[in-house]
């Protein structure tokens, strides 16, 4: 039967309207992305990295991964030469394009610090218990810092720092510090001229960079010789009253030199003299970086030479480089027991195409921390009936969701955690339970299993993207006998913290210039 002309016209009009609506929706979605990602879209179905609602978790393989095989640590220069040969490129500040998006990017292999031969732990259970004790102190420190944080509106003088550094991307080796009695991940960098290679804790919640220095009046044990400032041709002491000195809380003056003191919430501290120094990241040299030269240091940093702050404040490495990198950096934290590699990269060229971007939120009470919006949680592909208000950041600076490399286990407000845990328990009712271990109240006895079927879990991020985690990011072994625990814990306050266990294996990027954080699309 032939359709009437009026009906055909109506069908064409309906099709035209549908196309217009789709185009408008696409334009709206693109407008919500950062400028660096204007040509990118979130990955399929709104998922940062697509995972199925359920998966077969390799129990036996994961248990075998707890038995870490130590490797010999090669001199850093030898390691860099190997990587340069593999990548077929040698980057220096003099031959890299000033166009951060089009220039070359220095990328080095990421290794687990667990595989280096400095540990005194004899088995995985000891490593786990020590890690949980550090984690408890870390979370307590963060909550005290946020509740009593001070706001500084000053900005560091860009001419004083990095004045000889040309915009490029650079990166460095990142290794897990779980066995070091200190921060969770380390980087290997060169300090001074000539460069002395040092392991540094990376911390996305701290700003001041510092290394232990001679003369060392009070120092903890570190893996490398303590840095001697008298042997560096590039070191210049920061004078009292300078912009850089004013940026450091608890700064003082002695003999015309700027003194600093940083106290951490877990009782750790560093005291010393502030200096401008040259740092080396593989083939990249960054000059005039303000660092602390610590003569009295104590705390949970054993094994590392100091701390490399990556926080949002002006004195962090990211803050000091400022517009030269656009506040952009990206990292991939490797998972324990895998042969995967990752990296820590700086520069706008480090921002990936295809990431799922969400806005960064600012808390004036804690400007060093990176906050994101969280609208809900999911188990097995289904979002749970938890109010978005539970995760909100209030005008007074309470609550909110912080992403932190130094915290291992994700903390959630108690009400959200209980609903989350109970949903997971329902979906895993067939698995044999085990007693609570440390901070974990939901554990399983998987001894004898080769694989088990478990649900994946999801973070529903504000703005639409969904970050779904595979089981290895939340079902973790606590011993070598097959005891696994659900790696989340309740928060004693309204603050949520997304820890590094949940971040492992996911490419995470920060676009500070535009105020976005991206997840995926790559895994590492």
**Range with lowest mean pLDDT among 157-166, 177-186, 473-482:** 157-166
Q: Terminal CA-to-CA distance of the chain, rounded, Å?
A: 59
The Cα–Cα gap between 413 and 285 comes to 43
- Which is more confident, 496 or 154? 496
The Cα–Cα gap between 84 and 91 comes to 9
pLDDT digit string, tens, across residues 464-491: 999 999 999 999 999 999 999 999 999 9
- Examine the pLDDT at 301 and tell me if it is beyond 80: no
The Cα–Cα gap between 193 and 206 comes to 25
Q: Measured between alpha carbons, how far is residue 79 from residues 85, 188, 211, 287, 307 in Å?
A: 10, 11, 22, 22, 22
Is 404 annotated in the active site?
yes
- Which is more confident, 2 or 479? 479
Note the pLDDT of residue 418: 98
**Range with lowest mean pLDDT among 228-232, 297-301, 393-397:** 297-301
Q: What percent of the chain has pLDDT over 90?
A: 45
> Residue 510, Cα to own-chain centre: how many angstroms?
10
Note the pLDDT of residue 125: 83
- Examine the pLDDT at 359 and tell me if it is beyond 80: yes
**By C-alpha distance, which of 223, 213, 233, 214 is closest to 277?**
233
The Cα–Cα gap between 84 and 282 comes to 9
Note the pLDDT of residue 388: 96
Neighbours of 239 (CB within 10 A): 13
Q: What percent of the chain has pLDDT over 70?
A: 72
Is 114 annotated in the active site?
no
- Which is more confident, 440 or 283? 440
- 91 falls in which pLDDT band (50, 70, 90)? very low
- Examine the pLDDT at 460 and tell me if it is beyond 60: yes
User: Percent helix, strand and coil across the chain, each rounded to 5?
Assistant: 25, 30, 45
The answer to whether the pTM exceeds 0.75 is yes
**Annotated active-site residue in 114, 135, 203, 345:** 203
- Examine the pLDDT at 177 and tell me if it is beyond 50: no
Note the pLDDT of residue 338: 61
Residue count (the chain): 524
**Range with lowest mean pLDDT among 79-93, 237-251, 349-363, 438-452:** 79-93
Q: What does the mean pLDDT of the chain come to? A: 78
- 175 falls in which pLDDT band (50, 70, 90)? low
The Cα–Cα gap between 60 and 76 comes to 34
Note the pLDDT of residue 265: 62
pLDDT digit string, tens, across residues 66-78: 875 544 444 434 4
pLDDT digit string, tens, across residues 233-285: 999 999 998 999 998 877 889 899 999 998 876 678 899 999 999 999 877 88
- Which is more confident, 521 or 74? 521
pLDDT digit string, tens, across residues 16-46: 544 444 334 434 333 334 444 433 333 334 7
Beta bridge partners of 496: 401
**Annotated active-site residue in 114, 135, 207, 404:** 404
pLDDT digit string, tens, across residues 108-121: 444 555 554 455 55
């Amino acid at each position: 039967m032939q359709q009437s002309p009026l009906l055909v016209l109506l069908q064409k009009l309906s099709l035209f309207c549908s196309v217009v609506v789709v185009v408008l929706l696409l334009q709206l979605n693109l407008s919500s992305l950062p400028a660096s990602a204007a040509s990118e879209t979130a990955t399929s179905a709104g998922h940062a990295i697509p995972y199925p609602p359920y998966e077969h978790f390799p129990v036996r393989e994961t248990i075998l991964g707890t038995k870490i095989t130590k490797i010999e640590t090669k001199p850093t220069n030898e390691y860099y030469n190997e990587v340069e040969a593999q990548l077929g490129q040698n980057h220096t500040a003099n031959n890299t394009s000033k166009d951060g998006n089009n220039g070359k990017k220095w990328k080095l292999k990421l290794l687990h610090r667990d595989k280096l031969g400095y540990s005194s732990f004899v088995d995985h259970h000891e490593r786990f218990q020590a890690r949980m004790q550090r984690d408890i102190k870390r979370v307590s420190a963060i909550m005290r810092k946020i509740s009593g944080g001070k706001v500084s509106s000053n900005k560091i003088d860009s001419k004083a720092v990095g004045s000889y550094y040309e915009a490029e991307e650079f990166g460095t080796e990142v290794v897990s510090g779980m066995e070091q009695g200190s921060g969770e991940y380390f980087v290997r960098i060169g300090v001074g001229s000539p460069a002395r290679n040092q392991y540094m804790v990376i911390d996305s919640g701290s700003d001041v960079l510092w290394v232990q220095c001679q003369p060392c009046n009070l120092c903890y044990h570190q893996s490398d010789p303590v840095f001697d400032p008298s042997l560096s041709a590039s070191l210049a002491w920061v004078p009292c009253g300078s912009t850089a000195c004013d940026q450091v809380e608890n700064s003082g003056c002695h003999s015309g030199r700027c003194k600093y003191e940083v106290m951490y919430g877990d009782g750790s501290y560093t005291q010393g003299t502030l200096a401008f120094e040259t740092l080396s990241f593989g083939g990249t040299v960054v000059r005039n970086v303000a660092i602390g030269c610590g003569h009295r240091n104590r705390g949970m940093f054993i094994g590392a030479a100091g701390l490399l702050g990556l926080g949002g404040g002006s004195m962090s490495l990211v803050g000091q480089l400022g517009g030269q990198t656009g506040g952009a950096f990206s990292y991939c934290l490797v998972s324990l027991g895998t042969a995967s590699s990752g990296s820590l990269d700086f520069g706008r060229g480090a921002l990936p195409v295809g990431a799922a971007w969400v806005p960064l939120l600012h808390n004036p009470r804690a400007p060093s921390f990176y906050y994101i919006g969280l609208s809900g949680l999911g188990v097995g592909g289904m979002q749970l009936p938890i109010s978005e208000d539970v995760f909100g950041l209030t005008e007074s600076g309470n609550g909110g969701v912080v992403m932190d490399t130094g915290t291992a286990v994700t903390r959630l407000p108690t009400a959200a955690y209980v609903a989350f845990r109970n949903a997971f328990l329902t979906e895993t009712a067939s698995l044999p339970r085990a007693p609570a271990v440390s901070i974990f109240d939901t554990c399983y006895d998987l001894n004898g299993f080769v694989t088990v079927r478990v649900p994946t879990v999801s973070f529903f991020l504000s703005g639409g993207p969904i970050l779904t985690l595979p089981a290895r990011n939340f079902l973790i072994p606590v011993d070598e006998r097959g005891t696994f625990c659900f790696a989340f814990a309740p928060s004693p306050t309204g603050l949520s913290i997304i820890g590094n266990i949940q971040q492992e294996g996911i490419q995470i990027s920060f676009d500070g210039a535009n105020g976005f954080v991206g997840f995926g699309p790559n895994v590492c």
